[in-house]
Amino acid sequence: MAYPDEVLGSALRAFSLAALGMAASSCSAAHAQAPDPLGFHLEVADPLLQHSMGATIPFSARPRLNLDAVWWSAPRDESLKRLADRWGADEDELLELNPDLADDGAQRGQRVVIYRFEPGTVSRSVGAPNRGRIENSAPFPVGDGWTLRGYRPRSYATRQTVKELATSLAEWRERHPEANPVKLGEFSRRGGGRVRPHKSHRTGRDVDIGYVMNEPDEGHRFVTVTDSNLDAAATWGLVQRLVAGGAVESIFMAKSVQEQLIPFAALTMSESEQRSLFSTLEPDARAKKKTVIRAWRGHDDHMHVRFACTEADLRCSGAVQRKKKRRRKKRRHTKKRRRGRKA
């Protein structure tokens, strides 16, 4: 789908974690002194990149995640070709990453390296979400608290997007251990480009995330939200963590879902802060386009999260709006004019 290209306004950049009901600290102090409650370790070789939207949102202590390599355990015997198709990878590259992998593929329970970071390479988003591509993408890892689709050629993003989302999910899981797992859908292809039927999801900054439901669901499809099946408290907790991370540019969410989250946001946020966050509460049409969470049709079963550009990204921008082509009006000739030409 195509999305508007407005970026966050200065008022939104000034969001504080205190407004979201969270303790704040500087980014550098958080990463230097943060406890490691989940056993994750941030061992990424590339430095923490500055987001183009500005680092005005303070960061809290965050779990740390290892993205040097992404592993996957085969649920069944799987041929090398099927394994490559599942991940949108090249067969020769998989064999290079896994020297012990037989030519006939992986055996049930075998751990396979899908991705390994190469020092010196830079992962970047190039161009607009509906016009660009990715360089040196990374697949999203398996973890506690979220589920991925079994077929994963569209589970790639920039390393920064993967790190930010995985860290937010880990934080959320720590605070909501009893909630059902979050279902993750479409990211991007390995090299970016068109992901049908979407018009965006091309540059490794867009992710479809299911809402947290009251009942567990094993299917791969998202579940449409109703007044009774949404775990609104846990869903709001997830949105909190995404916004608090400081890396999210926009969240596209149905108006009906926003209305269920607002009562929980009201517990820690003032009315003006809620209006800056939820487009549903903002009466001004122009201001609505600058809110973080924007009402968008077709998002009553999942939210579309778009991460902001970083300094490493090239020509990174909002979605490009198509110019409507003006159709030339056909001249309608009257019978008299036609008769006149014949004469």
CA distance 13 to 230: 29
pLDDT tens-digit map of 155-164: 999 999 999 9
CA distance 42 to 183: 24
Q: Output the DSSP codes for 36-80.
A: -TT------SSPPPPBTT-S-SPBPP------SEEEEE-SS-B-H
pLDDT computed for residue 8 by the predictor: 34
pLDDT computed for residue 55 by the predictor: 27
pLDDT computed for residue 94 by the predictor: 94
pLDDT band at 129 (very low <50, low <70, confident <90, very high): confident
pLDDT tens-digit map of 71-127: 999 999 999 999 999 999 999 999 999 988 877 889 999 999 999 999 889 999 988
Do residues 210 and 223 touch, judged by C-beta distance below 8 A?
yes
- Rounded to an integer, the average pLDDT of 269-273 is 93
- Rounded to an integer, the average pLDDT of 203-227 is 91
pLDDT band at 56 (very low <50, low <70, confident <90, very high): very low
pTM as predicted: 0.75
pLDDT at residue 269 greater than cutoff 60? yes
pLDDT computed for residue 293 by the predictor: 95
- Rounded to an integer, the average pLDDT of 146-158 is 92
Lowest mean pLDDT segment, chosen from 29-43, 129-143, 282-296: 29-43
CATH, range 10-23+42-56+121-321: 3.30.1380.10
* C-alpha closest to that of 307 among 184, 208, 223: 208
pLDDT tens-digit map of 58-86: 334 455 566 789 999 999 999 999 999 99
CA distance 269 to 264: 9
Environment class of 6 (CB within 10 Å of its CB; exposed 0-12, middle 13-18, buried 19+) = middle
pLDDT at residue 270 greater than cutoff 50? yes
pLDDT at residue 21 greater than cutoff 80? no
* 339: phi then psi, degrees, rounded to nearest 5: -65, -35
pLDDT computed for residue 141 by the predictor: 92
Provide the CB-side half-sphere exposure for 277 (13 A, CA): 26
313 CB-near residues (< 8 Å, 6+ apart): 52, 124, 125, 126, 158
pLDDT, the chain, mean: 78
C-beta neighbour count of 142 within 10 angstroms: 14
The beta-carbon contacts of 79-83 under 8 Å, at least 24 apart in sequence, are 79/104, 79/105, 80/104, 80/105, 80/106, 81/105, 83/112
- Rounded to an integer, the average pLDDT of 205-225 is 91
pLDDT computed for residue 29 by the predictor: 35
CA end-to-end span of the chain: 54
User: Bigger pLDDT: 65 or 273?
Assistant: 273
pLDDT at residue 325 greater than cutoff 70? no
Each domain of the chain, given as residue ranges in start order, spans 10-23+42-56+121-321
